[in-house]
Structure 1
């Protein structure tokens, strides 16, 4: 079993859950600017259709290898429902999705890579309220992991379902660490900085050749939400007001990053970062050895296998502040979300597809194994194939 999964499971500790839920709440609130309740929703049939037929569209953001994984599960859905045709629109980012729904385009089921839109889409009605379907079909929401359940609803409205989850941790190049005499991955931010400075090498002109770790905010997955659990930084107070400007965890994190960048050389770091390739390309800095350590999600395991199979790497929980070692092993948990667009021409068929993608055990396991994302329903952790081989990420 890949070590990245241990990060995921440890992220379900109480300390991590508190940090994650607070972050998710802030993200949801940040997307509430459009206003409106989306209008009343048309009542649905008292029972789910006994036979599914028709055409339904699925919009998602995955591309290339990952899009093939999605298509494989869609094929299974069509095989189980021979009179259904799923028209797949892959490579659709959140901005394209927003515009398509607003324009009334043919969007039935939509999958987003961000929980940021949940507050906006639930409140505005861009994603339909799923309460009627969930109650009628007796979908057990207790099978969702608590954190996942929290970030797929807003202000009492569940307009989204989780399409797997992401957990973050530290990836490190074992060969580069061994060459520098480092035997274990860092556990504190101070250790991360010290190891990174030791791992950083320079070209003859003084520019960075290999970077131990890039502390630059905005570099790949170096986002505030992903880093907050390292210092226990809080987003909101009990009244829902922002703590970003006053919580000591944020100050500690920002001061650490600033001092770290200055030791490397801010101008050199800017130039190095500007020359980085797209993080999802085969020229990813970590995959080609341009950085020795990196903060990344569990999906990198699949990318490494596909794009950089010869790299000897390991994973570990992301380091914490020296005064927050009790948080070590936790981290940020988020994920993809799916919903039924307000303009869906066949909402019953859209719900059937969304339900299949999110709570059907076999479908969730196949998606999780193919994408190397984290399953979000408890039954997926104990799933087995017909030959008895455990297939979930927990194996």
Structure 2
């Protein structure tokens, strides 16, 4: 899946804590005895509706192909697909008593709020009832699909983030493994005009550059987001200070004005004018989906992929990275919850279904069997991200009722920090903590 900007992805997450889900619809999952027998034919004939966020023709076709496998197993269940649905639409449909039977989201930012408010039903009873072994998925995936012991969604596909590097621009250098190596290479590979104008950037350290979000960066230094009580750990964890000190020193080397001039001259992230395609950036952090985009939009680029560089003092982090992905579940009030759960279970645990989706959309599948399937399309570029995802050091942003707000609070401070408006890093990060914790109090966290 492509990256969804925070302002769009998590609209619902900021207002869900006090919302009440619709009361109309079918019975809650696990509230009634399981239909006699375990065969798919035990479920009655019905039509269910699945809302999802994909909109590109290839993505919609991938879902249709995956559903075809479900229809072979459950011929009596018809699945109606509704594309291009965002989190806010799902939330409003549930609150209005008109939910779909199944809904999928691009982002994990709403999971905690959805679980806490009951917008999505707790799947724990039916997971136990059907004997699903969640250990077939990495622990990090299980973490981002539940909140405070309530698992209200299942992981469908996921993203993994690593380093892309242009082999021609690298001038024979191997990809960096540490932040100090990244700094050295970024400086060596940068090309400027005599007036300081950047023609080629070895690496763009701005947090406003495409996928350079705090979340994607945090695994490089092992930074924590929250304390056990849900309060912010950003100001007290020295890893954030180390990360932002490194970032600011590299920005100052470029010159903030020079870097901004360069950044604003670049093409759109999701277009054929992406600067990596145009040989303007030697190294960049990006998701696994960029492999497919490069094949389609810039097939002549000779590039490599690698894990992200890490803190020099924490070399054991190398090989891991950041992950977060698509989630799917049964909304509160679904008219046909048992049939809906059958579809969710199939799409998230059936190897053929996951491989079909992963091959078409070029995202990482979330079960061990799918990752190891000989049918999964792999090459050296994509394999890097499969390895990152499976690495035990790979992390995600922990589920939080104010997940989007927390990320935006930190992002806002970083924008001031890299510009030079914020002078004191310690007090600035402490201010981020206060902003996040004040919001948590208001949310009843």
Match for residue 330 of structure 2 among 340, 353, 356: 340
In 1, are the aligned partners of 2:145 and 2:155 still within 8 Å (CA)?
Answer: yes
Q: CA deviation at 1:32?
A: 8.8
CA distance in 1, matches of 2:265, 2:33: 55
Change (3 A) 1:331 1:220: same
C-alpha distance after superposition, 1:204-227 (max 9, x if no partner) = 775433222111114222111211
Match for residue 156 of structure 1 among 141, 149, 153: 149
Q: CA deviation at 1:105?
A: 4.0
Aligned to 1:8: none
Aligned to 1:248: 238
Counterparts of residues 74-153 of structure 1 (less than 5 Å): 74-153=67-146
Counterparts of residues 261-272 of structure 1 (less than 5 Å): 261-272=251-262
Q: CA deviation at 1:354?
A: 1.0
CA distance in 2, matches of 1:32, 1:99: 11
Match for residue 34 of structure 2 among 12, 21, 46: 46
Aligned to 1:374: 364
Q: CA deviation at 1:377?
A: 1.5
Counterparts of residues 119-268 of structure 1 (less than 5 Å): 119-178=112-171, 182-202=172-192, 206-268=196-258
* TM-score w.r.t. length of structure 1: 0.82
In 1, are the aligned partners of 2:19 and 2:95 still within 8 Å (CA)?
Answer: no
Q: CA deviation at 1:125?
A: 0.8
Aligned to 2:415: none
Between stretches 209-218 and 125-134, larger displacement belongs to 209-218
* TM-score w.r.t. length of structure 2: 0.73
Residue 303 of structure 1 aligns to a residue in which SS? Answer: helix
Aligned to 2:404: none
Change (3 A) 1:80 1:176: same
Change (3 A) 1:79 1:307: farther
Q: CA deviation at 1:384?
A: 4.3
Q: CA deviation at 1:245?
A: 0.8
Between stretches 273-282 and 151-160, larger displacement belongs to 273-282
Aligned to 1:34: 17
Question: Gaps (5+ residues) in structure 1?
Answer: 1-26
In 1, are the aligned partners of 2:179 and 2:310 still within 8 Å (CA)?
Answer: yes
C-alpha distance after superposition, 1:128-175 (max 9, x if no partner) = 111232222222222222221121111111101001222211010111
In 2, are the aligned partners of 1:44 and 1:132 still within 8 Å (CA)?
Answer: no
Change (3 A) 1:285 1:365: same
CA distance in 2, matches of 1:218, 1:354: 36
CA RMSD, Structure 1 to Structure 2 (Å): 2.8
CA distance in 1, matches of 2:271, 2:88: 21
Q: CA deviation at 1:319?
A: 0.6
Q: CA deviation at 1:31?
A: 6.4
Q: CA deviation at 1:369?
A: 2.4
Residue 364 of structure 2 aligns to a residue in which SS? Answer: coil
Change (3 A) 1:269 1:108: farther
CA distance in 2, matches of 1:89, 1:166: 22
C-alpha distance after superposition, 1:13-54 (max 9, x if no partner) = xxxxxxxxxxxxxx9xx8696147868946134236624532
Aligned to 2:291: 301
Match for residue 281 of structure 1 among 261, 271, 276: 271
Question: Gaps (5+ residues) in structure 2?
Answer: 1-9, 388-445
CA distance in 2, matches of 1:277, 1:101: 38
